[in-house]
Structure 1
Amino acid sequence: MNNTPSSDSARLDAILDRVHSFVDAELVPLEGLLLAGDFDALIPAMEEKRAQVRDLGLWNPHLSSDHGGLGLGLDGFGRVSEALGRSPLGHYAFNCQAPDAGNMELLLTHADGRQRGLFLEPLLRGDVRSCFGMTEPEHAGSNPTVMSTTARREGDDWVLDGHKWFTTAFDGAAFCIVMAVTDPDAENRYARASMVIVPTDADGVQHVRKLPVMGAEGAGWFSHSEIRLTGVRVPAENLLGPRGGGFLLAQERLGPGRIHHCMRWLGICERAFDLMCDYAGSRELAPGRSLATREMVQTWIAESRAEIDAARLYVLDTARRIAEADSIVEGQKAARVQVSAIKFFVAGVLQRVLDRALQTHGGLGMLDDTPIAFWARHERAARIYDGPDEVHKSVVAREELKARGYSIKR
């Protein structure tokens, strides 16, 4: 048997080593600014780190080499996303943070020449940030075919009216890709909405508030906003993709996005696992006896190790299935059930590992002296965004029953 790694795997291993080293040496020391909410100091410090990443040739690792990325493919970037997930600052430092990464992928596929010059190119360079407006407070986020935000055509413009929230990274973003109903009478409910690119400084765009997530508002790319659109007028050329294609574009965006999210969550798990093991091994309960001597703590460590490793294999196998298809869209269709399964499975692993790590640290775990409490607050939403766990479990169950000849009506 030939155990010599291929050139591709050797290259990926080398990239992962560089990413790990950068995260640990350059980003972890800045986490104290984030945990303290000192964004005035954090933002300029992060711009310096982003410049370093560019100089290292690691910028835009999620993109193909044709677009200035590392050309790793979905599964290769998944491994990088895990490495970056070890720090809350990782993805932003490498210009592959949500929602920008998903917006880049949408624009690369569907933007015309004008849209590329105005919106995509500055985003690829890291000169601007963007956001994505889909969720509405008046409607269940689990059913994106129902929304009240509208875009009506008036001459050479689209005029938008609506209300969005959990618009991640609106604070400081240059533009927002807004999901709006353009064809309310379309017989096919999946063809009623479109995506429209809206500059955030357009007349009628109102930033209502930054949403306090478990008490923390955050800033910049670490924030979620509520916004209102009142008679917002943008050129007709700002329509992204085909009219009525908003739902399909959203699904196209969310499929790879779920791979990215799951691997980022596993990076969080690995960091929390390291902190848990180190604290258990060093925390003295009595002379010569550490917290790690407790059988319950040993159980938490063992269960976490097994769950993290199992989840990683599941996600990478799903990424491989998507990557082996003729196109990303076809791959998502073929792996639709697996994508739903990894979403709720890994979100559950994340919550359990964080809870064990926090419990192991005792009172210290409740403080922002480590990133554990930060993740416990912000990543609880992993079981909600991109479709709540319950919806994804229903998808998996229905498909398994369908394969056995049973039809379940919704």
Structure 2
Amino acid sequence: MNFDYSDKTKSLIEDVANFMDKHIYPAEPIYNQQMKDFGDNRWQVVPVLEELKAKAKEAGLWNLFLPESDLGAGLTNLEYAPLAELMGRVGFASEVFNCSAPDTGNMEVLIRYGTPEQQEKWLTPLLAGEIRSAFLMTEPDVASSDATNIKTSITRDGDEYVINGRKWWSSGLGDPRCKITILMGKTDFDAPRHQQQSMILVPVDTPGVEVLRPLTVFGYDDAPHGHMEVKLDNVRVPAENMLLGEGRGFEIAQGRLGPGRIHHCMRTIGLAERALETMCGRLASRQVFGKKIFEHSLWEERIAEARTDLEMTRLLCLKAAHMMDTVGNKVAQAEIAMIKVAGPKVALKIIDNAIQSHGGGGVSQDFDLAQMYTHARTMRLVDGPDEVHNRAIARIEMKKYIDQSQA
């Protein structure tokens, strides 16, 4: 593997970094103030975001995430990794470049598996940033880490499908621009275990779709994005809204979640980098017991560990991206799982030390560290909990051992 970025990637890194410096970082206080100005009704489009998106589109920094399509920038996963890392340094930055979840995963699904009609109706406005989307998979009444447990039913009735069930952690559904969801449910409860599930397009304004409440993460509601609990009561959608075909939900999920998992890790590395910078700034600005805080050996050790952990995690992420590009997601399964476990854990450790370096301020609203921690902690659950990924890693490792022993 060549660890040096291509000239194309270096140029884009410079462009995105410059855009972040010129537009994104200065917009952070504006974004926060506009959210405060909304008062109790925080589920609104933030004006500064729309201004930034227009600038990003004009600069050609748009839809950078699509590795297998000429609809984006034509980047590989490896080329996109450092760009996603830069975006991950600010919570809303990915949306500015139209590279935020769950839209990225949903667009990839529509590109890979959507019909021309589905693509024209939903993919085109998503690529243009005119609408947003959500992904409905997790359910409150079952252990959704095993997706075969999901109970939402998708029943054929003539030229329609009727959907009944309850979903939660439907991220993005709070946004008033969210117009379409991709829902995973069961079309055949008696089929073989991994052929029961299907994915179907459900417009948000379909009768019977009821958003029950926004869920909070350690008290944060992540408005206007949000994570919603949704009830689906006899929701009827046209039969042509089915993606790929009945019983092919797991096939779609595997195609969707591989890139999604590594994108999360790329952004999480950027988040951890910013936390480390914040920590170093604080340690250099305060003095205790006669010297700067960073001069105490305890903090020297923490800084060194943070840098070492970040470099190791980034290299693992780049290796996983390289394998996805060269041998495919299936062969890269272990590396994708490893980075999905390692990335958030490293970020949490660094953010926790950054909080500690700020004393009481670290857990207050005066700094972004508490929200950073909340986001990184959520990443240990998003797109499968650590336990599921560790199980996959262990099984792959044991298979290698058993195969070698038998040989």
Tell me whether the two structures share a fold, i.e. TM-score over 0.5: yes
Query: 1:406, CA displacement in angstroms?
Result: 8.2
| Letter of the structure 2 residue corresponding to residue 310 of structure 1 | M
Unaligned ranges ≥5, structure 2: 39-43
Please state whether the residue corresponding to 1:145 is helix, strand or coil.
helix
1:364 and 2:375 aligned: no
Partner of 2:15: 18
1:49 and 2:52 aligned: yes
Partner of 2:41: none
Please state whether the residue corresponding to 2:170 is helix, strand or coil.
strand
Q: 1:175 aligns with which of 177, 180, 187?
A: 180
Q: 1:42–1:159: structure 2 CA closer, same or farther, 3 Å change rule? A: closer
The number of residues matched between the two structures is 394
1:201 and 2:183 aligned: no
Query: 1:403, CA displacement in angstroms?
Result: 1.4
| Letter of the structure 1 residue corresponding to residue 320 of structure 2 | T
Unaligned ranges ≥5, structure 1: 326-330
CA distance in 1, matches of 2:267, 2:377: 14
In the TM superposition, what are the counterparts of 1:168-317 in structure 2 within 5 Å?
168-171=171-174, 172=176, 173-186=178-191, 188-221=192-225, 223-285=226-288, 289-317=291-319
Q: Do the aligned residues in 2 keep the contact of 1:58 with 1:69 (CA within 8 Å)?
A: no
Please state whether the residue corresponding to 2:350 is helix, strand or coil.
helix
Query: 1:286, CA displacement in angstroms?
Result: 5.7
Identity percentage over the alignment? 38
CA distance in 2, matches of 1:25, 1:279: 24
Query: 1:68, CA displacement in angstroms?
Result: 3.6
| Letter of the structure 1 residue corresponding to residue 358 of structure 2 | H
Partner of 1:354: 351
Query: 1:39, CA displacement in angstroms?
Result: 7.2
Query: 1:9, CA displacement in angstroms?
Result: 1.0
Partner of 2:331: 334
Query: 1:89, CA displacement in angstroms?
Result: 1.4
Partner of 2:155: 152
Q: Do the aligned residues in 1 keep the contact of 2:135 with 2:171 (CA within 8 Å)?
A: yes
TM-score (norm 2): 0.93
Write out per-residue CA displacement over residues 84-141 of structure 1, whole angstroms, 9 at most, x where no aligned residue: 0011111111011000000000000111111011110000000000000000001112
Please state whether the residue corresponding to 2:135 is helix, strand or coil.
strand
Q: Do the aligned residues in 2 keep the contact of 1:304 with 1:353 (CA within 8 Å)?
A: yes
CA distance in 1, matches of 2:261, 2:392: 15
Query: 1:33, CA displacement in angstroms?
Result: 5.2
Q: 1:356–1:406: structure 2 CA closer, same or farther, 3 Å change rule? A: farther
Q: 1:145–1:33: structure 2 CA closer, same or farther, 3 Å change rule? A: farther
| Letter of the structure 1 residue corresponding to residue 84 of structure 2 | S
| Letter of the structure 2 residue corresponding to residue 340 of structure 1 | A
CA distance in 2, matches of 1:67, 1:45: 29
| Letter of the structure 2 residue corresponding to residue 185 of structure 1 | D
Q: Which shows bigger deviation, 39-48 or 126-135?
A: 39-48
CA distance in 2, matches of 1:42, 1:183: 39
CA distance in 1, matches of 2:341, 2:32: 27
CA distance in 1, matches of 2:263, 2:307: 21
Write out per-residue CA displacement over residues 234-255 of structure 1, whole angstroms, 9 at most, x where no aligned residue: 1000001121110111111001
Query: 1:346, CA displacement in angstroms?
Result: 1.2
CA distance in 2, matches of 1:95, 1:345: 26
Q: 1:342–1:66: structure 2 CA closer, same or farther, 3 Å change rule? A: closer
| Letter of the structure 2 residue corresponding to residue 347 of structure 1 | P
Please state whether the residue corresponding to 1:179 is helix, strand or coil.
strand
Q: Do the aligned residues in 2 keep the contact of 1:340 with 1:393 (CA within 8 Å)?
A: yes
CA distance in 2, matches of 1:200, 1:42: 17
Query: 1:352, CA displacement in angstroms?
Result: 0.5
CA distance in 2, matches of 1:319, 1:378: 22
CA distance in 2, matches of 1:101, 1:10: 25
Please state whether the residue corresponding to 1:405 is helix, strand or coil.
helix
CA distance in 1, matches of 2:45, 2:301: 38
Query: 1:28, CA displacement in angstroms?
Result: 2.1
Q: 1:388–1:39: structure 2 CA closer, same or farther, 3 Å change rule? A: farther
1:95 and 2:93 aligned: no
CA distance in 2, matches of 1:208, 1:44: 26
| Letter of the structure 1 residue corresponding to residue 183 of structure 2 | V
Query: 1:64, CA displacement in angstroms?
Result: 5.1
| Letter of the structure 1 residue corresponding to residue 181 of structure 2 | C
CA distance in 2, matches of 1:39, 1:335: 46
In the TM superposition, what are the counterparts of 1:29-44 in structure 2 within 5 Å?
29-32=26-29, 37-38=35-36, 40=38, 43-44=46-47
Please state whether the residue corresponding to 1:226 is helix, strand or coil.
strand
Please state whether the residue corresponding to 1:214 is helix, strand or coil.
coil
Q: Which shows bigger deviation, 111-120 or 389-398?
A: 389-398
Please state whether the residue corresponding to 1:403 is helix, strand or coil.
helix
CA distance in 1, matches of 2:378, 2:84: 18
Q: Which shows bigger deviation, 86-95 or 28-37?
A: 28-37
1:136 and 2:139 aligned: yes
TM-score (norm 1): 0.92
CA distance in 2, matches of 1:79, 1:308: 13
